[in-house]
Amino acid sequence: MSVSLYYTAKREHPLSDQEKSAYQKVVEHYIAEYPLGDLYEDFCVYDFEEDFTENVIFDGSTKLPLNEGEEHCLQVLNYWADCLQEIIDLLPDAQWNIHVDDADITSQFHYSNR
């Protein structure tokens, strides 16, 4: 059994090269600095650039480690949520949809455009 963090951002225009580079640096930093033992799964961003449909500019998911206990799972969730918050801050005009499996946690994040 597993649980995952899912994230999708939409807006009217695609990501700029600067935005792509900026979010990639954030993701790389969080992966490189992961402090919570073995890296269960990287922060995953889907390859969606070739098919800009439904205005999706950012989309991905990250599996969370349930097998090491609830407390560890929450620590990992909070770590990747910090990474995601930095990306949200980079894309202030995007509309986000964030879930842990079926639970909508979008409102748990801060948005500069709301």
Domains contained in the chain, CATH given: 3-108 (3.30.70)
Report which of residues 44 and 38 the model is more confident about.
Answer: 44
Question: pLDDT at position 114, please?
Answer: 46
From residue 47, give the alpha-carbon distance in Å to each of 20, 50, 104.
Answer: 12, 8, 23
Report which of residues 105 and 112 the model is more confident about.
Answer: 105
The rounded mean pLDDT for the chain is 90
The string of pLDDT tens digits covering residues 65-96 is: 988 889 999 999 999 999 999 999 999 899 99
Distance in angstroms (rounded) separating the CA atoms of residues 2 and 30:
22
Distance in angstroms (rounded) separating the CA atoms of residues 51 and 74:
33
Q: Which residues lie across from 99 on neighbouring strands? A: 6, 104
